[in-house]
Amino acid sequence: MENKLPILDKFFVGNLIPQKSPFVMVDKLLAFSENEVVAGVTVLEENIFCDSGIFQESGLIEHMAQSVALYTGYQFYLKNEPAPTGYIGSIKSIIITTLPNLNDKVETKVTVLHEFMGVTLVDIVSKVNDVEIARGQMKTVLAT
């Protein structure tokens, strides 16, 4: 696949992260730059975190974390290298103001604040229809 964005092929996007179905919470890569990625997911009924038509908090947080993983995975894809597995090192101050509904398209912007020796600190903002629904900070650590 060429390096043209956005990438809307959910199977290609799913191969950029270590999680596998049914635990994949990103289905599109909308934008990418040196210190930023915008990822998306459409809330579908078959999503394991969708309950009674509502995308649950745990699913939204997992989507945010996988958006960070997508940033790393796409970085390594561009270098023709296999992406390493990463882990959430810490979650800081996640604020969820609204939960997405069935068929909502969640867009999440990850901004890298610091990256040093496999540890990445990011700001994350999730929106639906350009309205902020969640924000927070995460620290991820690459496996060695």
In a domain, 113, yes or no: yes
Number of domains in the chain: 1
Pairs from 11-14 (Cβ < 8 Å, separation ≥ 24): 13/39, 13/70
Residue 5 maps to a domain: no
**Across-strand partners of 127?**
107, 132
Per-residue pLDDT of the chain (144 residues; tens, 9 = 90+): 557 999 999 999 999 999 999 999 999 999 999 999 999 999 999 999 999 999 999 999 999 999 999 999 999 999 999 888 888 999 988 999 999 999 999 999 999 999 999 899 999 999 999 999 999 999 999 887
Q: What's the predicted TM-score (pTM) here? A: 0.94
Structural domain containing residue 105: 10-142
In-domain check, residue 4: no
| Tokens describing residue 11 | 């199977």
DSSP 75-108: HHHHTT-PPPPEEEEEEEEEEE--PPBTT-EEEE
CATH number, domain of 126, equals 3.10.129.10
Say if 64 falls within a structural domain.
yes
